[in-house]
Structure 1
Amino acid sequence: MKGKLLLLLALVFSVPSLSFASVDLVKVDKSKRRMYLMEGNHVVREYRVALGNSPKGHKTQEGDQRTPEGRYYLDFIMEDSQFYRSIHISYPNLRDRTHARRYNLDPGGDIKIHGLKNNETRPANFVQSFDWTDGCIAITNQEMDELLNLVDIGTPIEIYW
């Protein structure tokens, strides 16, 4: 329903309908540094992402600078942080907490998709050309605005190498 209503609004206001896609899944391919916003089997947006300094492998503990792998959910938006807007990823899940407990580790948390650091003065394309987060998924500020317009709270996110 949401997608049809937005498409109708796009037609009425002569706005390209692609900007009002109904995203039902976010995929992150860590090995390619790409995030895909999916509507069914169709990619409606693709972004280059920056990850943590040790991106290969699943996040297992606080401070390992890895982005978790698996299926999670985008569970709430944070407007007040050290980054330009962000949406939280539901890491750690029960499996992550159980694994951490078994090995007496702190699984960490606070994993998000976010824009650039507040007060960043370097060009976004330069900043995004290398991995610089502590395990989050970073996109440009403009892309972050677009993502938050296209993705609803509760949307699943699949992260893989």
Structure 2
Amino acid sequence: MFPIRILLMLVVAFGLAACGGGSKFRKYNGPEVTSIQVHKGARKMYLLHHSKVLEEYDISLGFQPVGHKQFEGDGKTPEGTYFISHHNPKSRYHLSVGISYPNAADQAYAAAMGKSPGGDIMIHGRTRYKGTNEGDWTAGCIAVTDREMEEIYSMLRRNTPIHILP
């Protein structure tokens, strides 16, 4: 009876260790990502090293995907050139990287209209989102799968330009 208990305990211990799944923080040792292109109409994001595409992702956008983000709550994803501003390891959506929206022009336009431009635009995963995770569902962010976000998070550096196209 005693050897069977030990055997069962070992089987359970190894089983739990195998289910650990590892860390969400990956290492990347490939070519530097020199820019990001987001093609909103095609729902695609490309990480580039100069003109070479390193990775391609299917994306979800803001729930009002057509047009440039102008105001807080409009549900649009910005268009234009911005930069990666920071990494957020404690994101509500698994992991995220910040996009430098709003820039000075975005702020000035919104102020002239007497509104807030909004902010907190990110590339992020899907964890803890309670909706369908299908179609365009974000408040203006760019969403990918959690697994893809782990890869993206490891590849991007602060100040990497991101070109968000219609």
Q: TM-score, normalised by structure 2?
A: 0.79
Instruction: Name the counterpart of 2:103.
Output: 93
Change (3 A) 1:70 1:119: closer
SS in 2 for 1:27: strand
- Is 2:68 the partner of 1:63? no
SS in 1 for 2:41: helix
Instruction: Name the counterpart of 1:150.
Output: 155
Match of 1:73 among 78, 83, 88: 83
The runs of at least 4 aligned residues of structure 1 exceeding 2 Å deviation read: 117-120
Counterpart residue type for residue 147 of structure 1: I
Instruction: Name the counterpart of 2:135.
Output: 130
Counterpart residue type for residue 116 of structure 2: D
Aligned-residue Cα RMSD (Å) equals 1.8
Query: Which structure is larger by alpha-carbon Rg, 1 or 2?
Result: 2
Instruction: Name the counterpart of 2:14.
Output: none
- Is 2:100 the partner of 1:82? no
SS in 2 for 1:145: helix
- Provide the rounded CA distance (Å) in 2 between the counterparts of 1:20 and 1:139: 21
Displacement, 1:117?
3.0
- Provide the rounded CA distance (Å) in 2 between the counterparts of 1:136 and 1:117: 14
- Provide the rounded CA distance (Å) in 1 between the counterparts of 2:157 and 2:55: 15
Q: Which runs of 5+ in 1 are unaligned?
A: 1-17
